[in-house]
Amino acid sequence: GSWEINLFNQQADFEMGVFKPPLPEGADKCYISDHTDIALGMNPATKYPEAARAFLQWLTTKEFAELYSNALPGFFSLSNHDITLEDPLAQEFISWRGECESTIRNSYQILSRGEPNLENELWRVSAQVINHDITPQEAAQQIEEGLAKWYPPHQK
């Protein structure tokens, strides 16, 4: 994912590019995972509420969005500001906001609340597929079976 841009820039000895996930046949709408990874807030018991609010207000500006997104390529401000990024890979990733709908990771909002936890299961089966220990179809079956143990829509 985009969060690996710095690592690849430091260690890759080849030219890199990025591409959006291919659409299934007949689909015309793309989706990107574009959600909160880092959040900041104000402690309601702070002795400096005005300063904290001023700082939080600044976090909503274009200046911050561009500064933050350039300082941490691959971690993007979720603002709607039109910003320019110095890293070409980061700029390509963020340009997809104009072409695709936004969604959170499929395992984050609800599907990691039960057991087995979908986030952990996806990590587990993905590693097994990469290592050729199981097929993608077997991984999908294991995920479905895990969800069927606790997630009502998979119990019908």
Tens digits of residue pLDDT in 71-116: 999 999 889 999 999 999 999 999 999 999 988 888 888 899 999 9
pLDDT of amino acid 122: 96
- Whether the CB-CB separation of 84 and 66 falls below 8 Å is answered with yes
Tell me how far apart the alpha carbons of residues 77 and 94 are, in angstroms, rounded to a whole number: 10
Please name which of 93, 68, 149 lies closest in space to residue 116, comparing C-alpha atoms.
Answer: 149
Residue environment code for 98-115, b if the CB has 16+ CB neighbours within 10 A, otherwise e: eebeeeeeebeeebbeee
pLDDT of amino acid 103: 86
CA pseudo-torsion sign 12, 13, 19, 23: negative
pLDDT beneath 70, residues of the chain: none
Tell me how far apart the alpha carbons of residues 107 and 7 are, in angstroms, rounded to a whole number: 25
pLDDT of amino acid 104: 82
Domain positions in the chain: 1-13+26-104, 110-156
